[in-house]
Amino acid sequence: MSNLAIPGAITCGVDQRRQRLFNNPDWNGLDYLDIAEDQLSLCLHFFGAVPEGLTPDNFGITGGRRICDIQVIDVAIDPSHDEEIDDCLRLTLNRRGDFSTYTLCLVDLPGIDPRFCCLDFSFKINCPSDLDCGASLPCPPMAQPSPDLNYLAKDYAAFQQLIYDRLALTLPDWRERHATDIGMMLVDLLAYAGDYLSYYQDAVATEAYLDTARQRISVRRHLRLIDYAMHEGCNARAFVTVATDSDFTIDRESDFFFITGADAVETDAGGFARLEALAAAPATDYAVFEPIGITGPVTFHAAHSRIALHDWGDSDCCLPRGATSATLVDHGDESDAAAPPHLSLQPGDYLIFEEVLGPLTGNPADADPDHRQVVRLTSVQPGHDALLNMATLDITWSVEDALRFPLCISSHRPTPDCDPVRDVSIARGNVIPVDHGQSLNQQLKPVEGIDLPGECACDAAVIEISRRALRYDVALDHAPITYAVPVAAGASAAALGAQDPRLAVPAVALADGRWEWQARRDLIGSDDDDRHFVVEIDDEGVAHLRFGDGMHGRSPDVGAAPIARYRTGSGSTGNVGRDAITRLVLRSGTIDGPMITVRNPLAASGGSDPEPVAEARLIAPGMIKAQRERAIIADDYAELALRDTRLQGAAASLRWSGSWHEARVAIDPASREDCPPSLLNAVDSALQRYRRIGHDLAVVPAQIVPLRLALHVCVLPHYNRAQIRSALLDSFSNRRRVDGSNGFFHPDNWRFGDDVALSRIVAQAMAIDGIETVYVTALQRLNAPDDRTALDTGRLILRPGEIAQLDNDPDFPENGQLVLDIGGGR
C-alpha cells in the first residue's frame, strides 16, 4: 500500500489509448468493475487476461467520507461461462462503503498501464436514481473577458452605438458605413427592435404600480385589487310627456325614442320623426333618450294630455307640501257632468304636476317652473262628487314622491278685480321615463385559434388535433358607452331619478348565435362556464371587451363571431334642460291621425362624468379604512345598521348574557314611530355578515321615553289666547305642519340619546307671534315622581339607547303629554 499512486486527471475528446490496450500482450489495465448486490465484493475486468498471482496486497482502496479504510480481504478469479465475456477478478471487502466516490488502484504490479491502473467507483451505483451514472468531464473553454457594454442604452441611437462598439471587437475588419449595406441594415433593424422593446419594458414597469400607472385601464385594475370600484360615470334620466289630440298605440317600447330639438330633422304633419330623417342631421346636434322601465305596447291617451285637479268647488285650494294623494277630474267636458269617464290611469303610471298659471295674475308667463314634480301612482280609485255631479279619480303615490312644495290649484287675483283663477296647476299623463343613450349593433370579428399538436395513441393512431382560442381582444367602434343604474321594479319616481354612478353597469350585451354573454364589473366571482365579460374604458373613451381565461369566466369558442348590442351616450352631457326633448322618432312604420307635442317639463338629471384617474388614485387607498367589513365594538354595529336608508338612527351595546356577549342593536325608522317586523328582520339579516364570531345579535326597536311638558305662557294684549294655544299645539306636535316643516316632537327631529334642552323649548315657543313670556314649569319622564332636576340643570338627560317622545294624543296619553297654562291676551 505504500506504493499506491493515482495518476493525474486528464480528459480527452477521443480515447484512442483504450483501443490500443485491448489484446495487447505487453500491457494491461483496468477496464471497468461490477459491484455485487451485497456491496461486499467487486468484480474487476481487465483489457486483457486476468493477471496471475494477485494477492490482497496488490489492491488499495481510498476515498470515502463517513466510511473509510476499506480493505481487500480475499482475491479469486471468477470464470465466465460465456466465450464473449472475459473472466473477472473477484475482490472480497471487509465492509461496505458510503455514498461518496472511492478509488481502486493496482499496487506493485508490473505490466499495468499507469493511466488505467485506477478506477473511480461508487458502492451505491445500483441504487435507483434519475441521474446519468456516467460522469462527463469535458475540457472547459477558457473564460473570455466580458466586453465593456453600455447598460444604460435605452433609445435608438444608444443601441446603434452599442452594436457598433460590439462589432468593432468581434469583426474589426468590418468598417462599412453605407446605409445600403446589409450590415448597416441589420444594425438599424436591431437598434429599432431594441428601442421598441426598451419602451415596452419601461411601459410595463410604469403600469405595474398604482403610483406610476398612467393608463386608465391599469389604474382601474390596481384599484380593484384593493376593493375600490372606479366608476365610468352614469347617464342622465328624464321624464317626457306626450300631448296628443287622439289616442294612438306603439306596439313595442323599442320601436320609438326621443331626441332633443334638431332643426335639420324633419317631422310629418303629426309631429312624428322617422329614423331615416336623422341621417340629415349631424349626430352632435341632438341627444337620444330611450324609454326605460316599460315593456310591451305603449298607449298614449288624449285625455291624459291635460288633467284638472279637483278642488271640490272651493277656492284658494292647494296641495300642501308632503302630500301623497290628490283627486283628479275624470271627464273631458266640464260643462257636461254626464260625460263618461275617460281617464285610463293605472298603478305604476307616472304623473307630472305642473304649475301652468301665475297664482296672482293667471298669466302663464308668471308660472313658477320650479313647481313641477313627477310622481308614480301606487293606487287609482274611481270616485264621484255627488254634490257637483262630477266623476273623479282618487290617486295616491309613495312617501318618497311626496310633494316638495305647496301646489296651488286655485286662487284669486289681487284687488280690485279679485277674479278667481282656476287650474293654476294641472297634472299631465302620457309620461315616459327615458334615459340618455342610443342603441346600436356591431358585428365583432371572429375568434381566432391555434392548432394544438396531436398525440399518438397506443395503437399508433393519431388523436384528433384540437384547437385553442387565442386571446380575444376586441373594441367597440362607437363611444362613449352608456353606463346606467339598473331600474328596480316598482321604484318610485324619486328613486328612478337618484343614481349612484358606482352602481352603474355598462349597457353592453353579446350574442354569438347560441349563447348570451353578460357584462360584469370583474371576473373574480365568475366560474369557468360563466359567459361573462368586462368592459374596460381607455383614456380615449374607447370600450375594450375582456373575456375569461377558462378559469374565471369562459373563453369564447374558436370561430365565434359575436354581435354586440350596446348603447352610446353617457355623462353630464345628457343633463339637458327642461323642454329640451321635443321629438318622438319612430324606428319603423308610420302613425297617421294624431297631432302630438313632446316635452320634458323637468330637466334631465343624474348624468355624471367618469371618475378622474387622479381623483381615484388619491381617495382609493383611504377607502380601505373608511369601509368597515367587520363589527368589533358596539359602535360598529350601529354604523353598519345605518347603511339601511330606511333608518334615521341606530344605537348598539354589548351585553354579557352569562354565556356569551350579545350585540343589542336598537333602530329608529325614518318618518315613523313604529318599527315594523319586516324592517327588524331586514336589518338583522344585513348585520349577520358583519357579526363577530362569539357575538350573538339582537335587533330591537328603539326604547321610547314619553315625556310630560308643562308651559306657562303669557300672551300679549290684543292677541287671542285660543289662537296662541292652537299655534303652540301645532308647533310642539309630532306631525308635519302645513308649511312642510316638522313639529318640535316629530320623530325625525330626535335621535338616540338626544337630551331635551329647556332653551330649545323656550325658543320654539317664543317664535310664535303674540307670546310675551314662556316658563317651563315641568319637564320630566311621564309617570315619574316629581323631579326638578331638568328645570335646575336646563336639560332632561336621556340614555344612549333612548329617544324622547311627546305625541300629546288624548287617545294615547301614555305617549307623552303637553300641558299649557295660558294667561293674558283676550
State pLDDT tens for residues 441-452: 999 999 988 877
Are residues 191 and 116 both part of a single domain? no
pLDDT value at residue 24? 83
Residue 64 to residue 102: CA distance in whole angstroms: 6
pLDDT of residue 424: 95
Write down the pLDDT at residue 770: 93
Q: Angle, to 10 degrees, between the axis of helix 156-170 and the axis of helix 182-207?
A: 130
Sign of the dihedral defined by the CA atoms of residues 668, 670, 673, 678, in that order: negative
Kindly state whether residue 361 falls inside one of the protein's structural domains: yes
The pLDDT of 494-498, averaged and rounded, is 90
Residue 18 pLDDT > 90? no
72 three-state secondary structure: strand
* CA distances to 9, 121, 179, 411 from 139, in Å: 11, 21, 43, 113
Within a domain: 170: yes
Q: Does 163 share its domain with 93?
A: no
- Same domain? For 673 and 773 the reply is no
Residue with the three cell numbers 399538436: 453
Query: Measuring CA to CA, which residue among 698, 689, 611, 612 is closest to residue 663?
Result: 698
Which range scores top for mean pLDDT: 273-282, 321-330, 778-787? 321-330
- Expressed as residue numbers, the domain containing 553 is 438-447+469-568
From residue 470, how far is each of 26, 465, 617 by CA, in Å?
Answer: 71, 16, 33
Quick one: pLDDT band at residue 10, thresholds 50, 70, 90? low
CA neighbor of 729 nearest in space, from 650, 817, 646? 817
Choose one of 646, 678, 701: the last residue of a domain.
701
What is the tens place of the pLDDT at every residue in 613-622?
999 999 998 8
> Cell 494491461 appears where?
28
Q: Answer yes or no: do 674 and 742 share one domain.
A: no
The dihedral over CA atoms of 693, 696, 701, 705, expressed in degrees to the nearest 10, equals -110
Cα atoms in the Cβ-side hemisphere of radius 13 Å centred on 393: 22
Q: For residue 556, what is its C-alpha cell? A: 369564447
pLDDT above 50 for 33: yes
Joined together, the cell numbers standing for residue 706 give 314619553
CA atoms 334, 336, 337, 343: torsion sign: negative
Angle subtended at Cα 620 by Cα 614 and Cα 625, rounded to the nearest 5 degrees: 155
Dihedral (CA of 554, 560, 561, 562) sign: negative
pLDDT at 3: 39
Whether the per-residue pLDDT at 604 is higher than 50: the answer is: yes
Q: Any idea of the CA torsion for 802, 806, 807, 809, to the nearest 10 degrees? A: 120
CA distances to 57, 461, 463, 465, 468 from 458, rounded to whole Å, are: 57, 7, 10, 16, 24
Q: Round the CA-based radius of gyration of the chain to a whole number and report it.
A: 47
- Is 134 within the bounds of a domain? no
300 vs 173, 267, 391, 593, CA distance in Å?
A: 91, 19, 21, 13
Residue 224 grid cell? 380593484
Q: Please say which residue of 701, 721, 743 terminates a domain.
A: 701
CA distance 106 to 113: 10
Residue 741 has φ and ψ, to the nearest 5°, of: -80, 160
Whether 817 and 719 share a structural domain: yes
561 and 510 within one domain: yes
User: In 3D, which of 351, 330, 354 has the Cα closest to residue 342?
Assistant: 330
Domain assignment present for residue 540? The answer is yes
Shortest CA distance to 543 belongs to which of 630, 610, 618?
610
Closest to 323 in 3D by CA, of 445, 406, 440: 406
Q: Does 691 have pLDDT greater than 80?
A: yes
**Which DSSP letter does residue 603 get?**
-
Helix (H) or strand (E) holding 462: none
Q: Return contacts of 221-226, CB within 8 angstroms, 24+ apart.
A: 223/616, 223/617, 223/620, 224/522, 226/620, 226/621, 226/623, 226/624
Task: Say whether 47 sits in a helix, a strand or coil.
Answer: coil
d(CA 398, CA 493): 9
CATH number (domain holding residue 635)? 3.30.70.1350
Query: DSSP character for 361?
Result: T
Q: Does residue 596 register a pLDDT over 90?
A: yes
- Both 335 and 421 in one domain: the answer is yes
The overall average pLDDT reported for the chain is: 88
At residue 335, does pLDDT exceed 50?
no
Contacts of 647 (CB under 8 A, 6+ apart): 641, 667, 668, 669, 670, 679, 683
Q: What pLDDT shows up at residue 563?
A: 95
Are residues 564 and 234 in contact, defined by beta-carbon separation less than 8 angstroms? no
Which residues, listed in sequence order, are joined to residue 118 by a DSSP beta bridge?
Answer: 105
Contact at 8 Å (CB) between 430 and 300?
yes
pLDDT recorded at residue 402: 93
Rounded Cα distance between 22 and 20, Å, is: 6
Residues facing 240 on adjacent strands: 432
46 three-class SS: strand
Query: Quick one: pLDDT band at residue 334, thresholds 50, 70, 90?
Result: very low
- Do 713 and 641 fall within a single domain? no
| One domain for residues 65 and 105 | yes
Provide the pLDDT for residue 2.
35
pLDDT higher than 90, residue 174 = no
Residue 659 neighbours by CB under 8 Å, 6+ apart: none
Angle at 344 between CA 343 and CA 350, to 5 degrees: 105
239 is a domain residue: no
Give the per-residue pLDDT at 748.
84
Classify strands 817-824 and 703-715 as parallel, antiparallel or unpaired. parallel
Are residue 160 and residue 224 in the same domain, yes or no? no
| Cα separation, 507 vs 569, whole angstroms | 10
Taking each helix axis from N to C end, the angle separating 613-626 and 216-225, rounded to the nearest 10 degrees, works out to 0
Specify whether the CB–CB gap between 290 and 439 falls below 8 A.
yes
pLDDT at 688: 92
Ramachandran region of residue 204, left (φ > 0), alpha (ψ -120 to 50) or beta?
alpha
459 in a domain, yes or no? no
Q: What percent of the chain has pLDDT over 70?
A: 94
3-state secondary structure of 699: strand
Distance, first Cα to last Cα, the chain: 142
Per residue in 408-430, pLDDT tens? 999 988 877 778 889 999 999 99
Residues 654 and 712 occupy one common structural domain: no
Mean pLDDT over 167-173 rounds to 87
Q: With the CA atoms of 620, 624, 628 and 632 taken in that order, what torsion angle do they form, in degrees rounded to the nearest 10?
A: -160
Q: Is residue 79 part of a domain?
A: yes
Tally of CB atoms within 10 A around 423: 16
What are the backbone angles phi and psi of residue 611, rounded to the nearest 5°? -65, 125
The DSSP annotation for 201-253 comes to HHHHHHHTSTTT--SHHHHHHHHHHTT------B--EEEEEEEESS-EEES-G
What pLDDT is stored for residue 342 in this prediction?
Answer: 82
Q: What is the mean pLDDT of residues 665-671?
A: 86
What's the grid cell of residue 315?
A: 277656492
Same domain, 484 and 517: yes
CB count, 10 Å around CB of 281?
16
Confidence of residue 19 (pLDDT cuts 50, 70, 90): confident
Please check whether residue 101 is in contact with residue 120, taking contact to mean a CB–CB distance below 8 angstroms: yes
Q: How many domains does the chain have?
A: 7
- Among 568, 593, 619, the domain boundary falls at 568
Eight-state DSSP code of residue 738: T
Residues 320, 396: Cα–Cα separation, whole Å: 14
Does the reported pTM lie above 0.75? no
pLDDT of residue 5: 43
Dihedral in degrees, nearest 10, Cα atoms 571, 573, 574, 576: 150
Phi then psi for residue 307, to 5 deg, are -120, 130
Q: 3-state class of 322 per DSSP? A: coil
Residue 738 maps to a domain: yes
- pLDDT for position 659: 84
